[in-house]
Chain A
Amino acid sequence: MPTFWLVALLLALSAAGYNGGRRRAIATAAGNVKDLHSLPSYYGYHVALAAFVPSIAALAVWLLAQPVFIETRVSGMIPAEAIPESSSIGLVMSDVRRVAEGLDLAVEQGLLTPREARNASAGAQDLRALMGEVGVALGSKVRPEALSAAQAYRNLSQNGRDAMTAVVALLAIGGFVFAYMRIHKDFRARNVVERAVLALLILAASLAILTTVGIVLSMLFETKNFFGLHSWTDFFFGSTWAPNFRGGSELSILPLLWGTLYISFIALLVAVPVGLFAAIYLSEYASGAVRAFAKPLLEILAGIPTIVYGLFALLTVGPALADLFGKGGLLGVEWMAGATSVLTAGLVMGIMLIPFVSSLSDDIINAVPQAMRDGSLGLGATKSETVRQVVMPAALPGIVGAVLLAASRAIGETMIVVMGAGAIAKFSANPLDSMTTITTRIVSQLTGDTDFASPETLVAFALGLTLFVLTLGLNVLALYIVRTYREQYE
């Protein structure tokens, strides 16, 4: 049975379970709903859940596991001689899958009877032409080994699917019956549903965490491979970034880290004062009308995709800076070679971060109790004295947290630096030099023809992991600071 219909059947069964459960509950209480432990609908949900949840879980697991299982079984059937010189088991297997799929389609369209498909032999028919007819293009004639493997593949999947339908249906019906029989007027269906809700919430929460763990583990794994191929001392303590796909690369993170931190620093230099002052204005001085207008506007700024900021860096800010500091520029100095520079990327990234800093700070400043301001104003302090001496110190931990969050965004930012900062990895204190960052190097190491066995590619994972650790550290620190100092006003 196709999966779609199977799911539809499960849903229908649950719906029936809901109705049946309700009815039975009311019946056990002899029609007196007040005698029931829970509301009738809870009994209904109880039966529906028992019919649906275990069976759908089994279905999901089966769907994930079956292809893996069949793949290993079938690839074991292919003899080593059947793999051509220039090919690999992976390529042969993909041929097998395509042939199996072609046979399925041919049966579906009536070109072959199921029997013919099962017994077809490579010599008897022109299978390649037949496959072409149903829209499966094959590179060469179907080899006998591939054909028999494909037939085995079809057999296994067919049997697997039948077994799956049986198991899922049994589970669903079993759950239905079990739950239905349990219904009694004192049965605590409400508590069962409560636990089911809890389980659902836990599942959602753990999915997010598990994904993170998965990402970290896969990065760790590749990073380990990288350190097997390249010395870690060069990675952490070397001084040059010079990847060379013919071997002998120098892959040190330090110049990249320098570029990353330098650009982030400039970005924060722009974003923190401007964002903070904007937040102070909005929360302390602006009238309701201005606030209602300016706050959404700032938030729109936060919604602009970073690639657009990148374009702004590339087309506007970079050339403008070059006009000022470049050769033949307005200042008559020749400090800037091209349009890309640390300053270009830093300025634009700073602009990107302004709404981020200001909206976080605005929330934090608003959380300072009005009584605090009243106390200060009541002593004859001016507004700015109040802001400086009472509101800011009170909001400071939160603001530090906001700045750290902004810093971690700056460090992880990619598009603006790709377009604004250039691609030269070097140590330089001149903000008008081109430099590059960790994120852009990850992109450039992984784009194009890549071979996931060379250190030049694998270094991307080591870079990514370092970046992850760095930003994670900043976020944890930010949260810690915000939490520790928050209680003060409660």
Chain B
Amino acid sequence: MNDMTLMDKTVDTQNIKIAARDVNVHYGDSHAIKDVNVEIEDKTVTAFIGPSGCGKSTFLRCLNRMNDTIGICRVKGDILLDGEDIYDRRVDPVQLRAKVGMVFQKPNPFPKSIYDNVAYGPRIHGLARNKAELDEIVEKSLRRAAIWDEVKDRLDAPGTGLSGGQQQRLCIARAVATEPEVLLMDEPCSALDPIATAQVEELIDELRSRYSVVIVTHSMQQAARVSQKTAFFHLGNLVEFGPTGQIFTNPEDSRTESYITGRIG
């Protein structure tokens, strides 16, 4: 009996990539995230949905400690990545962010060439041994972000000169080039046309075979299409978290239902 439960537990913890326990976030005096508990599984796409300003981006930024860069932001509670507390003093946030990559809500390409934008991460982390390997990584990443065909003839052009949607895909390419274990995507498709959106969704689906992906989205259809788990945030609270099918067809909380059916937002 005892052995059985132990076995169950280890299997369980192996499956869970990130576990958040009683996370609270304050910006100065305002309480942005309230007692959030969530478990993000490995090789799964988790969608964060909720009305604007409910704290999705804030919570996402906690997962790779990007909130450290905001002076007034304080994070309380535990966030475990592979069972290790990422807010522990021994953890190097720089190392952490290499493992937990991020695509930001607003596209932010560097004022460098398209090539250098994508090669930035691999260069910093020494992922390529020579130019040929680096070229390969760059091409593969750009292909995965569905932008290769548009930029392959002008890799030396500045990344800031692309259109908004192209910039966003460039940022996705840049993030996948470092081969993170978890990819956090904050509304990656908000500036994309339906074709590019479909390609990015395809990429997300492909990434799922190896990584864990967390995606913030305002599109219910997108959440339903790409994710296996969905978390619904409202006013800083995690209202409901469960399998996507269940959240969309049979939500437990009335707030979730009204949001999904378009009554609060």
Residue numbers of A with Cβ under 8 A of B are 287-288, 369-382, 385, 389-390, 393-394, 488-489
Which residues of chain B from 95 to 145 have any CB-CB distance to chain A below 8 Å in the complex?
A: 95-99, 101-102, 104, 106, 108-112, 120-121, 124-125
Is the Cβ of B124 less than 8 Å from the Cβ of A375? no
Asked if A375 and B94 make an inter-chain contact with CB atoms under 8 angstroms apart, the answer reads no
User: Judging by beta carbons under 8 Å apart, are B120 and A376 in contact?
Assistant: yes
| Contact B174 A371, beta carbon cutoff 8 Å | no
A377 and B160 in contact (CB under 8 A), knowing A371-B106, A389-B120? no
Measured between alpha carbons, how far is A393 from B175 in the docked complex, in Å?
21
Complex Cα gap A378–B106 (Å): 13
Stretch among B44-52, B63-71, B217-225, B226-234 lining the A interface: B63-71
Docked-complex contact B66 and A378, CB < 8 angstroms:
yes
Asked if B112 and A393 make an inter-chain contact with CB atoms under 8 angstroms apart, the answer reads yes
Let me know if B204 is at the binding interface, CB within 8 A.
Answer: no
* B171 touching A380, Cβ below 8 Å: no
CB distance from B172 to the nearest CB of A (A): 12
The 3 closest A-B pairs by CB, nearest first: A380-B98, A371-B108, A378-B102
Assuming A380-B98, A380-B121, is B160 touching A488 (CB within 8 A)?
yes
Question: Could you list 11 A-B pairs, sorted by A, with CB under 8 Å?
Answer: A371-B106, A373-B69, A375-B109, A375-B171, A378-B66, A379-B97, A380-B99, A380-B121, A380-B178, A381-B121, A389-B120
CA distance in complex: A389, B102 (Å): 19
The reply to whether A393 and B106 form a contact with Cβ atoms under 8 Å apart is: no
Chain A residues with CB under 8 A of B124? 379-381, 385, 389
- Distance, CA A377 to CA B121, complexed state (A): 10
**In the bound complex, how far is the Cα of B94 from the Cα of A382, in angstroms?**
6
**Size of B's binding interface in residues, CB under 8 A:** 29
Q: Shortest distance in angstroms between A403's beta carbon and chain B's nearest beta carbon?
A: 20
B71 contact from A288, A376, A380, A394, Cβ within 8 A: A288
B111 to A489, Cβ gap below 8 A?
A: yes
Determine if A378 and B97 form an interchain contact, defined as CB atoms under 8 angstroms apart: yes
Given contacts A379-B98, A379-B101, is CB(A374)–CB(B120) below 8 Å?
no
Q: For B106, what are the chain A residues with a Cβ–Cβ distance below 8 Å?
A: 371
Contact with A along B171-194 (1 / 0, CB 8 A): 100110010000000000000000
14 additional contacts, CB 8 Å, given A288-B71, A379-B97, A379-B121? A371-B106, A373-B69, A374-B69, A374-B104, A375-B104, A375-B109, A377-B66, A378-B66, A379-B174, A379-B178, A380-B96, A380-B98, A389-B120, A488-B111
Shortest distance in angstroms between A371's beta carbon and chain B's nearest beta carbon?
4
Q: How far does the alpha carbon of A389 sit from the alpha carbon of B122 in the complex, in Å?
A: 14
- For B110, the chain A residues whose CB sits under 8 A away are 372, 375-376, 390, 394
Complex CA–CA separation, A374 to B124 (angstroms): 15
B→A interface (CB under 8 Å): 64, 66, 69, 71, 94-99, 101-102, 104, 106, 108-112, 120-121, 124-125, 158, 160, 171, 174-175, 178
How many angstroms from the CA of A377 to the CA of B97 in the assembled complex?
A: 7
A291 nearest CB across to chain B (Å) = 11
Residues of chain B within 8 A (CB-CB) of A488 are: 111, 158, 160
Given contacts A379-B174, A389-B120, A374 and B108 within 8 Å (CB-CB) = yes
> How far, in angstroms, from A370 to B64 measured CA to CA in the complex?
17
Is the pair B104, A378 in contact by a Cβ cutoff of 8 Å? yes
Least distance between B161 CB and chain A CB atoms (Å): 9
Which residue from chain B places its CB closest to the CB of A395 in the assembled complex? B111
Chain A minimum-CB-distance residue to B103: A378
Q: Is the CB of B108 within 8 A of A369?
A: yes
A457 to B181, CA, bound (A): 77
Say yes or no: B108 contacts A375, CB within 8 Å: yes
Q: B111's contact among A287, A373, A381, A394, by CB below 8 Å, is which? A: A394
Residue in A287, A378, A389, A394 whose Cβ sees the most chain B Cβ within 10 Å: A378
Which residues in A have their C-beta under 8 angstroms from that of B98? 379-380
The CA of A442 and the CA of B13, in the complex, are separated in Å by 81
In the complex, A69 Cα to B141 Cα: how many Å? 83
Contact of A380 among B95, B111, B160 (CB under 8 A): B95
Give the chain B neighbours of A371 by CB distance below 8 A: 104, 106, 108
Q: Which residues of B contact A390 (CB under 8 A)?
A: 110
**In this complex, which of A373, A380, A381, A488 has the most chain B Cβ atoms within 10 angstroms of its Cβ?**
A380
Q: Please report the C-alpha to C-alpha distance between residue A199 and residue B109 in the assembled complex, in whole angstroms.
A: 45
Q: Closest A residue to B110 by CB, please name it.
A: A390
- Chain B residue nearest to A381 (CB atoms) is B124
User: How many Å lie between the Cα of A307 and that of B95 in the bound state?
Assistant: 52
Smallest beta-carbon distance B123→chain A, Å? 9
A381 CA / B98 CA spacing, docked (Å): 8
- The minimal Cβ–Cβ distance linking A394 to chain B, given in whole angstroms, is 5
- Report the Cα distance A380→B121, complex, angstroms: 7
Closest B-chain residue to A370, C-beta based? B69
Known A374-B104, A390-B110, A393-B112; contact A380-B97, beta-carbon cutoff 8 A: yes
A390 CA / B111 CA spacing, docked (Å):
8
Known A-B contacts A389-B120, A488-B160, A489-B160; the reply to A377 vs B108 at CB < 8 A is no
From the candidates B64, B71, B125, name the one contacting A378 in the complex (CB within 8 A). B64
Which residues in A have their C-beta under 8 angstroms from that of B102? 378
Please, which residue of chain A has its CB at the minimum distance from the CB of B98?
A380
How far is B174's CA from A376's CA once the two chains are assembled, in angstroms? 10
CB distance from B126 to the nearest CB of A (A): 12
Which partner residue on chain A sits nearest B107 by CB separation?
A: A371
**B66 to A380, Cβ gap below 8 A?**
no
**A4 CA / B54 CA spacing, docked (Å):** 69
Q: How far is the CA of A394 from the CA of B71 in the complex (A)?
A: 23
Instruction: Given A372-B110, A393-B111, decide whether A380 and B104 contact each other with a Cβ distance below 8 A.
Output: no
Complex alpha-carbon distance, A376 and B158, angstroms: 16
Nearest chain-B residue to A379 (Cβ)?
B121
Contact of A377 (CB < 8 Å), options: B69, B71, B125, B178: B69
Specify which chain A residues have a CB less than 8 angstroms from the CB of B108 in the assembled complex.
369, 371-372, 374-375
A379, B111: Cβ atoms closer than 8 Å: no
* Residues of B contacting A370 in the complex (Cβ-Cβ under 8 angstroms): 69
| Beta-carbon nearest neighbor of B178 in chain A | A379
